[in-house]
A and B are shown apart, each in its own frame.
Chain A
Amino acid sequence: MKKNIGNWGNYPVIESNEESFVFNEQLDVLIKEEQPFIPRGNGRCYGDASLAERTISMLKYDKILSFDTQQGVFECQSGITLDQVLTVIVPAGWFLPVTPGTKFITIGGALGSDVHGKNHHIDGSISNHVIDFDLVLASGDTVTCSPGSYPDLFEATFGGMGLTGVITRVKFKLKKIETSLIRQKQIKAANLQELIGLFDQYKDYTYSVAWIDCLKKGKHFGRSILMLGEHATLAEIPENDRKDPLKLPKNKQIVFPFNLPSWFLNSFTVKAFNLLFYTKNFKKEINNVVSYEPFFYPLDAVLHWNRMYGKSGFVQYQFVLPLNARDGLIEILHRISDEGLGSFLAVLKVFGKQDSMISFPKEGYTLALDFPVREGLLNFLDELDKLVLKYHGRLYMSKDARMKPGMLVAGYPDLEKFKQIIKKYNPEGKIRSVQSDRLLLTAGN
């Protein structure tokens, strides 16, 4: 069906012919059609990675194939969302090995973006936990990929933005939990120096992430809240919860009802929001036990929160800088603060080591910021790109809607290897997206 689609940032929005399937045979037919396509999950990447004139929606391909509750191995079709997976695994005493900040993504999308979570410095990205997966290639052939079978495709599919083929079946390892609760610690940091010190001090925590108020200047520059967490053990949770320690959180969702007018977010409202966010924590440090939902997915509580940015949408800018580039972090944050283009959220996280071909994470600091789309933004982001490159950083393709091909080349040393694999398995660019065309990853460019 022809319809206008955009991803989470609502930028860009394009007209696409969207088709869906339930059975493998139906997918085979769709792949053999002449028009190029990109597989698409729940549309929660931010930019144009899963946009194309023709998209194959994976959402009806969402069945659970096996669940070994003893070993914690889960096998499913790729269109299932993490939200659905959690409702099955949590009551059985298991958790996702890695989860991003929203549970409304598909497993296929998680592999395509090689998602990371608050535990990257301990557990790495999702690719660390995948046993094997099936991939339907542009030719229509299905191959099973694992470290021992088609290792080139196995590696290139993680972070490969769907360009290696259509991921159909995924088998991955889960993480054992005693309770569905999280023992969390929140610490306020008065400025960036303090925050970085805290990250270091608490690096043994499994989960860590910080929210930064990047509009604050002067000695409170980089004022922030560091959020740390561990899966709570049975002994650590309140007496009342011990009867049903693995219970699922109650569904308490509110819906952001309409697109806010784009003037709504200005430096005044964003400052007010950030002030509220910072001062709601009265004490320097909070220690408590909470459900996994508010800890991992605070924004999922507001469905369609992206409407806050109005019709014109927003761009999320996420980069990673090596650990020795703290100066770069400071310089970039200053640049953003000076420009006052109003980033609502700035999320800082430390990545652990990771070797991979095209995945985003590498050891260092990663910062993610939202920018409402308005005049001058794209030029400003081009300037930020230069700073990121100056400090040997790179950008996350899942968030990207605008980077230039050179930025990708400069950030990803193994890009040529990735391109060769695309050339081998997707030679005519049958599988392509607006992004892959823009970044010159697919044939015909």
Chain B
Amino acid sequence: METVLILGATSDIGIAIAKKFAAEKYNIQLAARKPAQLEAVQSDLKIRYNVECTLHAFDALQYHTHSLFFDSLIPKPDVTISIFGIMDEEDEAFESWNLTQRMIDTNYTGAVSVLNIAAKFYIKRKSGTIIGISSVAGDRGRASKMIYGSSKAAFNAYLSALRNKCYDDNVHVMTVKPGFVYTRMTENMTLPKLLTSTPDEVAGAVFNSFEKKRNVIYIKWFWRYIMLIIKNIPEFQFKKMKL
């Protein structure tokens, strides 16, 4: 049985993805800042799906611990999925460098730090899959998601480069760009029903695309076209828009 490592497993999407892979008979390694929180998820996956599930402490911002963290994983995961990320209030982040830096360091620097380590391992082994959960917000910088969007844009570029770099070594990298998702993070927003997916839908799409070795996926097909339009608005026009 293969093993999946989930980085940022306390999020609604993280739990849904863990559940989906467990249902498909993968052993699960859940990593989060407070792994004790995940004890109930651990027992749940073991009992429901009869798979192995272990808990691991992982802090995206403690870069120097990432090597040790990855070394300590037994067995080594066959699939590494990076889900963690924070989305602070943009106006507050603009006022506070601490918030801005924390968002960039988590969403980009932290992800690069840990995924580099996984990638080096997979390149050496000549097999493995890395999945990065990014966002449509990374497709074009907008005022309403300035820091979050730019950190995800950088993450998108990194994943694309990594896919390119690892290709010859039989390591696959998949970029996932969800649009709106109903999670605790978005509970207080009014989201357009048609454009919004549930964490279970995200998990299902991630698993199916993983099996098909897709490169870049949007959750719900029309997001690809919505973002295509947004990406193609000329800058002289785009700069005047409120998106």
Contact = CB atoms under 8 A, between A and B. Distances in A.
Size category of the B interface is: 10 to 19
Interface in A15-37: 19-23, 25-26
Contacts of A63: 40-41, 43-44
Interface string A159-180: 0000000000000000000000
A276 interface: no
B184 A21 contact: yes
B241 interface: no
B15 A64 contact: no
A20 B187 contact: yes
Contacts of A25: 37
B47 A88 contact: yes
B43 A66 contact: yes
Nearest to A19: B187
Interface string B137-175: 000000000000000000000000000000000000000
B188 interface: yes
A65 interface: yes
Interface in B1-55: 10, 12, 15, 37, 40-41, 43-44, 47-48
A1 interface: yes
Contacts of B232: none
Interface string A59-94: 010011111000000000100000000011000000
B72 interface: no
Nearest to A1: B187
A22 B187 contact: no
Given A1-B187, A19-B187, A20-B184, A67 B10 contact: no
Contacts of B37: 23, 25
Nearest to A60: B12
Given A1-B187, A1-B188, A1-B190, A22 B44 contact: no
Given A22-B184, A25-B37, A77-B40, A66 B190 contact: no
B51 to A, nearest CB: 13
A81 B47 CA distance: 16
Interface of B: 10, 12, 15, 37, 40-41, 43-44, 47-48, 184, 187-190
9 contacts: A22-B15, A22-B184, A25-B37, A26-B184, A60-B12, A60-B184, A64-B47, A66-B47, A77-B40
